[in-house]
Amino acid sequence: MRCEYKTENTCAQFISFNIEGNVVTDIEFYGGCNGNLKALAKLLDGSTVETIEEKLLGNTCGRRSTSCADQLAKAVRKVYNEIKQEQVRKQI
C-alpha cells in the first residue's frame, strides 16, 4: 500500500512509502537534504516499522525537536497502526 505523510517542522514537506504488513519499502522524501535523505531511504528499504522506530525515533535536527528521520519513524508507525485498526474493524 502506497502512503503519504505530511511532515511537521522539517525541511521535507512530505514522505511517501510502501508498507506491506510491517515492512516498509520505496521511501521517498519530498524536500529536505536530498543526498542524505536518498541515502537514508536506501539504507532503510525493507526494514520493519519497529526497526525504523528503534533507529530513528527522537532524532533531532539542529534546534528543532524533530527531523526528517524522526518524522519517518512517526509516519510508518501511524500508518501501520491505522492499517491494524482497519483490519480489526473489518473483523467485527
- Each of the 92 residues of the chain gets a pLDDT tens digit; together they read 999 999 999 999 999 999 999 999 999 999 999 999 999 999 999 999 999 999 999 999 999 999 999 999 999 999 999 999 998 888 87
Cell numbers standing for residue 58: 527522537
| Per-residue CA distances from 56 to 18, 25, 71, 88 (Å) | 18, 16, 9, 28
In percent, the amount of the chain with pLDDT more than 70 equals: 100
> Is the CB of residue 57 less than 8 Å from the CB of residue 74?
yes
- Nearest CA to 31 among 65, 71, 64? 71
Write down the pLDDT at residue 22.
96
Copy the grid coordinates of residue 59.
Answer: 532524532
Show me where the domains of the chain are located.
2-91
